[in-house]
Structure 1
Amino acid sequence: MTDAADATSVPANPADKAVIVVGGGVAGLVAALECAKVGMSVTVLERDARVGGVIRREDVGGVGVDLAADGFSTRGGVVAAVLDDVGLGDAVIRPDHGGRWIAGAAGAAPLPAETVVGIPANAWADDVRRHIGWSGAWRAYLDRLRPPLTIGQEQSLGRLVRTRMGDRVRDRLVAPLSVGGYAVDPDDVVVDDVAPGLNAALTRTGSLAGAVAAVRAEREGAGEGLAGLSGGMSRIVDGLAARLDDFGVEIRTEAPVTGIRRSRDVGARPWLVQTGDEAVAADAVVVAVDEDAARALLADAAPQLTSLAVDVAPTVPLESITLVFDAPGGAVDRPGPVVHAVPGTRRASTLLHQTGRWDGLRAEAGENGVVARVTFGGPGDPPATAALDDAAATAMALAEASALLALPLDGVRLRGVHRNRYEQPPPATARGRAERATRARAALAAAPGIAVVGAWLAGTGLAQVVEDAVAEADALRRGVLFGGVAG
């Protein structure tokens, strides 16, 4: 976030500069706040009837449930800074129950303790052999004996693990986290992004297991992890909207934008944003929509971006089905709260046992209440529920929840169901994403006063989206206020 010195060192006329933000998701709202804080005149245009994008909370079976992210990474403190800014710093909570499990053909067990992105430091540890078996442990042990031919050079996580430790470690420990957590194949994950320092540690230690141990030792006490908000993650949307209102920002909902073009009037504001029958003039525009919409909107304003080749892992269609039900004795002691399936062993990829993560939600759900979100789909694998009607999709989700929670659900009293279909952008760690984002921003150099933010460039995850939105909004406003962008 921008400090007080920045806010007081802007030119005397920031209010004369008009900024239009297209898209009222979290990226757009954060960018709007960064511009509004220095006194710029900001308008947010959102096509839907509500702001917040994928961040929303709905009543399902009498329980308020987060339908997308129910928490955020504390990495870098960027989300915490925004929450402090909007008065929600005291609402941050930590999970009451942590841990991830992996479910394979032989059932579910905790992710081994001594791992980095699923790669074990000791293949012989009991919690590792439980997943990969004796033959997998022997193969992984060969990592210690292999010559360091390409150590420190491999950038594909999947290829690195397969080469050094074998298929069982890759398929049964690494792939469930990559596919279940981010819908990306581990072969398409960049080592240096997902596990900073691992390649360098490989060079020092001479083995992948040794590198994992070294990285774990370096990370100890780093203080990174998961956090949430008391009352649900949708509060960040409410907080941002209220803070924007404090600065006089106009938020227009049900205001779809159909185009962005240069103004032809000399001396006028350089950009025109078309919404309905109105062309709104602006000195700067922040485009905070998905990739397809951004390319279409900027076809005239930034044709270089529109023609930019798509050479990164594609978005993946997913469907999450949230179930709220009563189970005898609840499910507090069941696996989780996150259970990732070994790819190919289940129809679902992940189960998020939300009442197993947050005590506040458990209290709301009641003594025997369970809230579980079952996600279907993955890279190259359309959701198994895609062609099913609601009854059949619910039955499949219940069956998968039963298996992944190891909880018989025959005759369960189902209180409510919610289906959520969406496209998952590649994560920040996906191969080619960082390079493509750099090229996309370079293409915008021909359109000064235009910025693009959102998960399709920043990568999935609230921390990545917020950090990127803050940085891009800061660069944009500096260009408008100091860099001579015409207005």
Structure 2
Amino acid sequence: MATGTPGTTTSRFERIDTMTDHAAPELAARAAEQHVVVIGGGTGGLIAARECARVGMRVTLLEAADALGGSIRSVELDGVMIDAGAESFATRGGHVHALVAELGLSDQVVAPQGGGAWLSGIPDAPDAPLPKGGILGIPANPFADDVRRIIGWRGAWRAYVDRLRPPLTIGHERSLGKLVRSRMGARVHDRLVAPVTAGVYSALPDDVDTEIAAPGLSTALTRTGSLSGAVATLLAERRGASAEGKAPGSAVLGLVGGMGRLVAALHAELDTYGVEVRTETRATSLRRDGAGWVVACETTAEDPDSVDDEADAVADEALHATGIVVATPEPAARALLESSVSGLGPAGEAPEIEIVSLLLDAPALDAAPRGSGVLTVPGSHIAKALTHSTAKWGWVRAAAGDRHVVRVSFGTQGEPAATAALDDDAAAQLALTQASALLGIELTPQQLVAAHRGRFVQAQPSSLIGAAERRTAARDVVRKIPGLAVVGAWMAGTGLAQVIPDAVAESDRLRSGLLWGENERG
């Protein structure tokens, strides 16, 4: 059973250093007898493999793709290395920053630049910067110039009614959308909050759980008597915590050279521990075998020297393990678990998100006309959001020279990506058209130097109403199965700040069960 703060690397395994000379060899021998197979080479799988290997267990990691990292991917566009997937990590909890430090990357941590994001698609109004002084788009002062520019005088006065209405009972309104509409009106909801939740959570406000997305907001609302007052209170508390050094100044941070460096560092550490890492190896089934497990897998290996028309040779193999960590996206995880685990409950929606990265020779973008990027009012554009990477990250700007990198995102909950049925060239052209509209700059096909399309299966956001209960119920079922752990965003919630501590805690629980016969929650 884990000790210390849940979700940290503190565990009972720290007692190894204080064991007697007799106990330590016994534990090492027990660990060496274990074989843990980790299925999935995203961040959750890499962390799980690391945690099991570092106590002496034999670990094999299987990844179906040709590279590790999952939603963290680095690609090269005409000599410029960029993030094609996740480009930053949330600072909340400090878990990711702690891992970065352990991996020796602290001096590579950078904060975003380029100013704030803009809003596009505001009804009957030009694009404008996203107002400052808000939480999830909810303004502390509806009459502030940057707020009124978007919601108008009519919206500002309607939002002011919030201060005249009686406060809500704590927990009375779980839906963020319903809360905002009832307190501050449709314009605040549609023009400020909906673009933020769609961009951050790929969900509309009505589906977002208020307390999960904005912890403390309901309590502050009851205490202050208004939603705008609650936002002002929480912002003041955050500023105070930051001033005291209790919280970082930026909500997100990145790494010079891209988040792919985190994956590379974890991979290098796995090599040090002797972990067998197999890419292009797909687990096809999973079943119990007495007290252990059998993983059937297939490896597709392309032989460049083969003269056979069928260059791909598929090799089937069965791996025997004492412990299993399933670290794939939800659809693949459920397919593997269905024969061994019952009662997982309904599956969460797992939409495919596409990010099209464009390298542009467009001097008109030198002035960063839309700051670090653009969020869109739902329904106003085909694209969900745009990031101007060379404006947001200094290291990308240095690498790109006099060219620019923009990333255009498509797809959200309940809405497939508009690029899904297109080939790569057509997807790049659609992204270019959307980038031109969102940036307010005419971009021509001749300015497109290179493009990359990344496709990702997004886990159901943890902020959705009911998502936490579904995850808890599924995890309770998994934890009753000896020798099994399931990690990743569909169990932990989206984002490295949730995936990493969860993978550490679940790996600790698994290895405790294997070494000491425990099957506790940790």
TM-score w.r.t. the length of structure 2 is 0.87
Q: CA distance change for structure 1 residues 381 and 6 in 2, over 3 Å: closer, same or farther?
A: same
8 Å contact 2:9–2:501 — kept in the other structure? no
Secondary structure at the counterpart of residue 446 of structure 1? coil
Q: Provide Cα deviations, 1:271-321, integer angstroms capped at 9, x if missing partner.
A: 22222443222221100011111111112221233xx223x5x12233221
**1:163 lines up with 2:182 in the alignment:** yes
Residue 408 of structure 1 pairs with residue 442 of structure 2: yes
| Match in the other structure for 2:375 | 340
User: For residue 292 of structure 2, what is the aligned residue in structure 1?
Assistant: 270
Q: Quote the Cα distance in structure 2 between the aligned partners of 1:429 and 1:452.
A: 20
Q: How does 1:297-312 map to 2 (within 5 A)?
A: 297-305=336-344, 308-310=345-347, 312=348
Select between 100-109 and 178-187 the one with higher mean Cα deviation: 100-109
Whether the 8 Å CA contact 2:330–2:350 is kept in 1: the answer is no
**Matching residue of 1:467:** 501
State whether structure 2 residue 90 is matched by structure 1 residue 73.
Answer: yes
Q: In the alignment, which residue of structure 2 is the partner of 1:288?
A: 327
Question: Per-residue deviation at 1:467?
Answer: 1.9
Report if aligned partners of 2:475, 2:491 keep a CA contact under 8 Å in 1. no
Structure 2 residue 38 is matched with structure 1 residue 21: yes
Equivalent residue letter for 2:90: S
Of 156, 160, 163, which aligns to 1:141?
Answer: 160
Q: Of residues 186, 199, 215 in structure 1, which corresponds to 2:234?
A: 215
Deviations 1:51-109 (A, max 9, x none): 21221111123311111011111111111222222222222122233422211232322
Question: The residue matched to 2:281 in structure 1 has which SS?
Answer: coil
Rate the CA distance shift 1:332–1:68 in 2: closer, same or farther, 3 A.
Answer: farther
| Counterparts of 1:403 and 1:6, CA distance in 2 | 58
2:491 aligned to 457, 461, 466, which one?
457
Structure 1 equivalent of residue 409 of structure 2:
375
Distance 2:378 2:452 in 1: 24
Check conservation: 2:183, 2:227, Cα contact below 8 A. Answer: yes
Could you say which residue in structure 1 is the equivalent of 2:140? 121
Contact 1:327 1:412 in 2 (8 A): no
Per the alignment, residue 304 of structure 2 pairs with none
2:502 counterpart SS class: helix
Amino acid at match of 1:182: Y
Report SS of the residue matched to 2:127. Answer: strand
Contact 2:356/2:409, CA 8 A, preserved across alignment: yes
For this pair of structures, how many residues does the alignment match?
Answer: 476
Aligned mate of 1:97, from 114, 123, 133: 114
Superposition deviation, residue 149 in structure 1: 4.6
Structure 1 counterpart of 2:197, from 153, 172, 178: 178
Residue 77 (structure 2) aligns with: 60
Cα shift at 1:150? 4.2
- SS of the counterpart of 1:107? coil
Specify the code of the residue in structure 1 equivalent to 2:380: T
User: Conserved in 2, the CA contact under 8 Å of 1:339 and 1:351?
Assistant: yes
The match for 1:398 is: 432
Q: 1:360 aligns with which of 366, 375, 395?
A: 395
**CA displacement at 1:410 relative to structure 2:** 3.9
> Paired residue for 2:311?
none
Relative to structure 1, is the Cα distance of residues 251 and 385 closer, same or farther in structure 2, using a 3 angstrom cutoff?
Answer: closer
Answer whether contact 2:48 2:507 (CA < 8 A) is retained: yes
Q: Distance in 1 between matches of 2:230 and 2:262?
A: 38
Structure 1 residue 254 corresponds to structure 2 residue 293:
no
Q: 1:217 to 1:295 in 2, by over 3 A?
A: same
Measure, in 2, the Cα distance between the counterparts of 1:2 and 1:381: 38
- Stretch of structure 1 that moved more, 250-259 or 23-32: 250-259
Counterpart Cα distance in 2 of 1:100 and 1:349: 13
How far is 1:6 from its partner? 4.1
Moved more, 78-87 or 134-143: 78-87
Q: Of 100, 103, 107, which residue of structure 2 is paired with 1:83?
A: 100
- Cα distance in 2 for residues equivalent to 1:337 and 1:22: 36
Whether the aligned pair in 2 keeps the contact of 1:331 and 1:407 (CA below 8 Å) is no
> Are 1:331 and 2:366 counterparts?
yes
TM-aligned CA deviation for residue 7 of structure 1: 4.7
For residue 35 of structure 1, report the CA deviation from its aligned partner: 1.2
Q: 1:201 aligns with which of 181, 195, 220?
A: 220
Q: Deviations over 1:142-167 (max 9, x none)?
A: 11111225454211111110111111
d(CA) in 2 for partners of 1:153, 1:471: 33
Match in the other structure for 2:259: 233
Evaluate the alpha carbon distance shift between residue 309 and residue 390 of structure 1 in structure 2; reply closer, same or farther with a 3 A threshold: closer
Secondary structure of the residue aligned to 2:479 is helix
Change (3 A) 1:391 1:35: closer
Mapped to 2, the partners of 1:235 and 1:441 lie a distance apart of 30
Using the TM superposition, give the Cα deviation of residue 242 of structure 1 relative to its aligned residue in structure 2, in angstroms. Answer: 0.5
CA displacement at 1:436 relative to structure 2: 0.9
TM-aligned CA distance change 1:2 to 1:328, over 3 Å: closer
Q: TM-score, normalised by structure 1?
A: 0.93
Give the Cα separation in 2 of the matches to 1:317 and 1:56.
Answer: 16
Deviates more, 1:161-170 or 1:86-95: 86-95
Q: How far has the Cα of 1:126 moved from its partner?
A: 0.6
Q: What residue is the counterpart of 1:317 in the other structure?
A: 352
One-letter amino acid of the counterpart of residue 156, structure 2 = A
Q: Does 1:5 align with 2:40?
A: no
Q: CA deviation at 1:329?
A: 4.6
Look up the match of 2:515.
Answer: 481
- Structure 1 residues 358, 332: closer, same or farther in 2, change over 3 A? farther
Cα distance in 2 for partners of 1:420, 1:56 equals 9
Which residue in 2 is equivalent to 1:45? 62
User: Take 2:480 and 2:166, find their aligned partners in 1: how far apart are those partners?
Assistant: 49
- Cα deviation for residue 391 of structure 1 reads 4.2
Contact 1:332 1:355 in 2 (8 A): no
